[in-house]
Amino acid sequence: AMRSGKASSETVAALLGLPVRTLSRNLERQGLSFQRMLDEVRYRNAKRMLNDLTMGVAQIAEFLGYKDAASFTRAFRRWSGATPSAWRQGVAASGHEPSREVLRGD
């Protein structure tokens, strides 16, 4: 669903065989929202894919369901405080992920 750009609560609820409201209630009980969960999954996958230097930022953006690389870059900067390219360079230079992560449930 993410790759097709259709990672919506409606799509995921249907895949799970749940009404959308039930999915939302279950997430709310755990202090989560669908958007927060989607962002966390996208961020985790983005970091993993950025470690693969053969994948371009545009490819990663498409895989994660973003309209374009600019939209992905804005989201990644919001989550990590760095652009995907800067994050990738920091990992390459240091050998580990930068410690500044600011993923928020805005």
Going from the C-alpha of 9 to that of each of 27, 38, 72, the distances in angstroms are: 11, 9, 19
Give the integer Cα–Cα distance in Å for 21 and 104.
23
Q: Look at residue 26 in the predicted model and tell me its pLDDT.
A: 93
Q: Look at residue 7 in the predicted model and tell me its pLDDT.
A: 78
Kindly give, in sequence order, each residue whose CB lies less than 8 Å from that of residue 10, ignoring residues fewer than 6 positions away: 20
Q: pTM for this structure? A: 0.76
Q: Look at residue 24 in the predicted model and tell me its pLDDT.
A: 93
What tokens appear for 12 in the block? 């995921």
Q: 9-61, pLDDT tens digit by residue?
A: 898 899 899 999 999 999 999 999 999 988 999 999 999 999 988 999 999 99
Q: Look at residue 89 in the predicted model and tell me its pLDDT.
A: 87
* Rounded (5°) CA angle 8-9-13: 120
